[in-house]
Structures are given as C-alpha cells and as structure tokens.
Amino acid sequence: MAQPRYTRIDNRRPSSNYCSTVTVVVFVALCLVGIWMMTSSSVGPAENVDVISLDNKDGIKKQMTPPAEEGNNGETPTEDKKDDGDASLPQEDETPSKQENQEEKKEEKTQEESTSSGETKSETEDLKDNPDEENPDSNEKQTKPETEDNESGEDGENQKKFESDNSENKSSNDDTDSTKTGNEDTETKTEKENTETNVDAQVEQESQPKNESSGDLSPPVAQLELLNETMAQNGSFSTQATESKHEKEAQKSSGDKLDYKWTLCNTTAGPDYIPCLDNVQAIRSLSSTKHYEHRERHCPEKPPTCLVPLPEGYKRPIEWPKSREKIWYTNVPHTKLAEYKGHQNWVKVTGEYLTFPGGGTQFKHGALHYIDFIQESVRDIAWGKRSRVVLDVGCGVASFGGFLFDRDVITMSLAPKDEHEAQVQFALERGIPAISAVMGTTRLPFPGRVFDIVHCARCRVPWHIEGGKLLLELNRVLRPGGFFVWSATPVYQKKTEDVEIWKGMSELTKQMCWELISINKDTINGVGVATYRKPNSNECYKSRSEQQPPICPDSDDPNASWKVPLQACMHTAPEDKTQRGSQWPEQWPERLEKPPFWLSSSQTGVYGKAAPEDFSADYEHWKRVVTKSYLKGLGINWASVRNVMDMRAVYGGFAAALRDLKVWVMNVVPIDSPDTLAIIYERGLFGIYHDWCESFSTYPRSYDLLHADHLFSKLKQRCNLTAVVAEVDRVLRPEGKLIVRDDAQTIQEVEAMVKAMKWEVSMTYSKEKEGLLSVKKSIWRPNEVETLTYAIA
C-alpha cells in the first residue's frame, strides 16, 4: 500500500525550521511536477500503485478508483448502476498532490472494473439506455408506463434512477461546461460505490469544501483534459445552439407560443356551439336554402381559439348502459323535443332526468321489437353476422342505433341541426354514435361501397326528386348486395302525397336496379317496412332500356367525398374479383382481424410493408399498446369511458384493440392522410373523413376519450395548433381523457396549452425524441370573454 505523501518515514517530530525547508522544497517539486504533467501525454503512476489508462473513442482518458467501502465486499457494480446521473465536477483549487492521489485511485478502479465486467460503456451507450438525460425535466411527473418500447421494464428502472440522481446533482451540474468528458459517468459510479450514506447526505457533503484526501484535479491536469475535450466529436449530443434554433423556428412556423391565455366564446348558440354549423354570418349570405344549404357546413375563415362555456349545473354523464335510458337534464337542458315527440316515446322529462323509453316515430313500442321485425322480414340481414355496419339517416335521438348494440351491430346515425332541437346531442349524451349532417348538396363524408345496410325511418328526405340525386348518394355508400330499409309513410299509407311519393320511388328504384325483396306490416307499431337490395353485378345496368339515371364516368371516383358536389349518376359494381366490393366481407367477428381479401401483397402499406402484413402488424402493435399501457398504465377508469374518437386512424387497429370494452370508436381519417377508411369499414368498424383545420360536426362535450397518434405535429404545418386544441376542448367532456403520441417538441407544446386550461397531466414521457402525453380535462372555464361576431344572430 502506498505511504502517505506528507509523513516522515523515520517518524521524527520535525522542527519549525525543518518544516519551513520541507515546505519550500515540496512546493518547488510540485511546481516542477505540474509543468511536467502539462507537457507529458500521461500522468505518472504513484509508488506501489498499478495504473491502467483507458482511452475512449474521443481520445479522453477514463481513470477510475476501485471501491473502498466495507459494505461493497469488492464486488463489481451491478447492471442497474450503469445509468446513474452525472456527479458534480471536481473543484479546481486543490494541490497537484491531491490530484495525483485521485488519478491513481481512478486508475485502480479502471483496472478492477475492466477485469470484472469486461466492458466499459461509452456516453453514447448510456444515453441509449437512458435517452431522457437530454431532457430530464420532461420526466419529473411520472415514470414511464409499460409501452411497446418498454416491454422488458429495464428502461423504467433506469428512468426512476435518473430522476432521483438528476434532481440531486442539478445544482452542481449548472456550473459545469456544456460539453461533458467521458469520465463523468465513471466518477459518478465511483462515488456511488464508495458510500452507503443516503443521497441527500452525499450531495450535502459534495457541496462543502473538499478536504486534502479528496484528490481533485489540479489546474494543469484539468487543462490537459480540456485540451483532450477539444478533440471530441458531438457524438449523439446536439448543441444547445442547434436545439434552441430549431425550437424558435418551430414556434415561429406554427404560430404558437408556450404561454397561453384562453378566452370564453360568446356566441348565440352558447354551450351548444358548433363552429361550422353555427356560422350565422355565412348562413345569412346564402343565395338559396332549397337544398338544405343552411344545414350544411360553413366554417369560419379562422377557426375559433376560445373555449365553449358549460351549461349551468353540468354533471358527470351517466355511465353506459344506464345512459341509454336516461341522462341528466342539466347536461342537455332542452325540452322542446320532449314536448314535440314525447307521445312517440322519443324523450320525456322525468324530474332531474331526460328519459328515453326506446321508441321512435316508427317504433313507438320499442326499438328492439322493430329491429327483430326487420330481420324476420329479411332473413339474409342476419344482424351481427352478415350485417355489421349500418347508416341510419334522419336518426332522431338514435334509439335504433342504440339498441342495435344488443345485436352486435354498430350504427352511424346522422341528422341535421334543425328544429328537432339537440337530437344528435341527446344521442351522444346517451352514449350512441351520431354526427350532425344533412343530405344536401355535397356527398356524405364516407367512402363508396362501405355500409352493409342503410336505414331510413320516416327520415323526411325527398329521395325521388331531381333525378333521385339523394337516393343515388345512398347507392354510392351502400355495398353491392347491401340493403336499404325504408319505413316511411309512403310504404303503408294511402294519402295522396304518400301515393305519389311511392310511385316516384318505385320508378326510381327500378331504374337503379334495386330489387324490392320485402314489404311487411309491423302490426304492433302499425308501420310498414320496405326492403330493397342493391345489385352486386352490372347485368341489370347494361340491360336497361333507358340509361337513366346514367352511369358515372370512369373518372368519377366513388371514394372521393370531402366537399364533393352530388352527382345524379350511378357507380357500377366492380367486376374484377380482386377489387373491393366484388365480394361480401367475412362475417363478424372474423372480419375484424383478417386483412381484407382485396389487399394485395404487391401493394405497399402505410408503414412500408406489404399491405396485408402492414395491416396485421398495425393490429398487433395496438393490441400490445392497449393491453400493456393504455388499460393499466395511464390511470384511466375505462368503466367511465363510452364515446371514443381516434383522431388519426390508419387501419383502425386502435379501435379493434378496444373491442372487448363497452366502448365505440369514431375512426377519423384526416383528408391529408392515406385514404384507409374503406379498410376500417371492411373490418366491421366505422369512421369518417375530416379536416382537423376545421371544426368537427358534433356538439360540445361529445366524447369521453380522444386519441391522437402523430396528428398534431402534422397539423402544425398547415393549421393553427391553438385552434385545434381549442376544438379538442370543445369535443371532449369535462374529466374526459386525451392521449397524445407525437414528437417530443409537439408534446411539450400541447402540454403547455392544456396546462393553461387547468387540465390534469396524468402522465408525460419522452424517449428518443418521441413522446406520450395523457391528460384529463378540467371543468375550468376562463373569465375573459371573446365575442365571435360571425356566430351572433
């Protein structure tokens, strides 16, 4: 063992003169040693100490001290100590002799670790194991949930260790250079292994002046290390200048800021404000309302960035399935529909509730009897097997779709925002899918040939006028071989108007080659139901004596539907057996998991694989994410979740992964994303096209959970992100959840916005520039009011 440097070997007590002489000699010697060290390429070993110097890839020498604590028993560090945080850099006011002692101890440590573990991690490798060291502040709230990127759980342990170490060493690290040398992680390991005191005591000790035995770097050696640092490359680390530049450019390009001040929207619609349907100024300027133009979308030039107020006395919605029968009156405080349609068992006011007996205009005695009556009339309908996805036009309060859930059928219910006050809002509050839309002058926002059944129960749509333009739109979205179920008064009443409509419908459906396969009378409800079937071949089209309605030209894409004007023409059935629509999909539920038959291996999927493989990989991915992370790791009470929206669905994998829960998912395919919506329908799910630079066609407080997978970062390139987040707030219910998966910068921006709205951040996490954010909406509303003049009547 090396002798102490300042002890006389003969143990004689030195005199004062002798001490002075020794002090001078030692001082001169140390100066010479310092000069020699500055000009030498390595530090000389001390007596009786073996030194091993390890050069890393950047030319920086790593010298480490062996463990000396009794509790360590000479064992090598365990694997879980590799990612500890940086220790504070040594002081630079110590003597050269102290520096030499430290260097010698470090070299002994290097020898022992190299022998025992057989490997030395570089800084880059440590960063890969714990990438969040680049942005430790992003991980202070929660530890990482178990996601597909953390299946082994090792990163989660490292993350917790990093949070603790980073907070303790933050004060000392603030004074260090921005460029770290490769020996910092090594010094941290040495300090961790040489003490069994708690971390707080260690930090307190490090903050005090070092004693003579600390052995810190002397100025000459520190300068040598700095010279070595100049030879290092950036490696995996970006510079602060680059990071700051990119951040400022991103904020400037997106038009967003990190300090947000929200206002409260002042509109005539108040708590029920739908920006694209309540644009009073645009509606007043319409030249005609003959084709229900005033019920169509008219979005403001600049989407609102204010927040919609809550109705007074708003309460947490009643959970499904009780919500199908009753909702809180204070949440949707409208009684007009109850007064107008109460005798038909649509809705009634019952104390503090609005109750729904399950009736409708055509099924006063309950929807389930009516649903079963339809299948008894046409056995091939086979609810929940052959027929899975239904479009209900003029849905009212959507009791038809609400009770079809009992038959394992999902229904896209639509109705306009008209004098039937809040009918779609009632449906959504009940937990039933619905959108505000009208059969007007443009196509419905769905692909062609996707619905198994289209249903209209006295929906008041003039199907037969103007060449049958509106019925031809239903023909576009109905699958070849699909059914149109019509239970309006012309089917069973003999009034003059009804007779004329029936005659016109009979002629039109014959020209469209629709086969009338059933007309039956429901004696309990006192209504008649006519069922038509769309042809699955082109034989009838070719054999018509008059080509009216005409066949659409080949250039007319039946899937193009976003703000596309209606055309009075028919699209033919696909004749190629490999095309979508040439065969009926697999029966439910098999169709959910199998790639559609028309997806070819020669096609490239969204993620770059062959289309069928891409489809399956996406499904497996979302099953893993939902099972390992969403259901357990985000703190969501899924029993309170009913209405779900996937704001950027691809193949519908997220919705498919939620199949066993009592939820329904509105799959939204943005108009600037790959058009995969037909695939979603093919697997027995449903969805809609939408442009998120505009408001969605739904009432405020419609959804319990919104899911945005790499959506906001794309929207920043062409939309006002603040307006998008304001729309998220409008659509989401108080205490509803928002899950965002996106790049770390976008996560930071969205988090700042929702925090300004007093939302609760349940979890935020970032890794390798990717992030995950889970937040819960608050009931908070701002005090400052912003009047939207275009929405004032």
Q: How many angstroms separate the CA atoms of 484 and 574, rounded?
A: 20
pLDDT exceeds 70 at position 553: yes
Provide the mean pLDDT of the chain.
Answer: 78
Q: How many angstroms separate the CA atoms of 284 and 792, rounded?
A: 11
Q: How many angstroms separate the CA atoms of 622 and 612, rounded?
A: 16
Q: Which of the two residues, 593 and 348, has the higher pLDDT score? A: 593
pLDDT exceeds 90 at position 220: no
For range 431-452, the mean pLDDT: 97
Sign of CA dihedral 276, 281, 286, 292: positive
The pLDDT-based confidence of 245 (bands split at 50, 70, 90) is: confident
pLDDT exceeds 60 at position 147: no
Q: How many angstroms separate the CA atoms of 595 and 83, rounded?
A: 43
**722 has which bridge partners?**
none
Per-residue model confidence as pLDDT tens digits over 28-52: 777 776 666 665 544 333 333 333 2
Residue 589 preceded by cis peptide, ω within 30: yes
The pLDDT-based confidence of 27 (bands split at 50, 70, 90) is: confident
Residue 309 preceded by cis peptide, ω within 30: no
Q: How many angstroms separate the CA atoms of 778 and 734, rounded?
A: 5
Per-residue model confidence as pLDDT tens digits over 749-761: 999 999 999 999 9
**What is residue 259's predicted lDDT score, i.e. its pLDDT?**
74
Count of beta carbons in the 10 Å neighbourhood of residue 493: 14
Strand duo 770-776 + 760-767: pairing: antiparallel
pLDDT exceeds 80 at position 78: no
**Phi, psi of 99, rounded to the nearest 5 degrees:** -65, -40
DSSP code per residue over 347-377:
-EEETTEEE--S--TT-TT-HHHHHHHHHHH
Q: Which of the two residues, 197 and 440, has the higher pLDDT score? A: 440
pLDDT exceeds 50 at position 350: yes
Q: How many angstroms separate the CA atoms of 603 and 612, rounded?
A: 8
Nearest to 181 by CA among 221, 213, 214: 221
Q: How many angstroms separate the CA atoms of 442 and 728, rounded?
A: 26
- Helices and strands (H, E) in the chain, number of each type: 23, 21
Across 27-31, 44-48, 101-105, 713-717, which has the greatest mean pLDDT?
A: 713-717
Element spanning 636, H or E: none
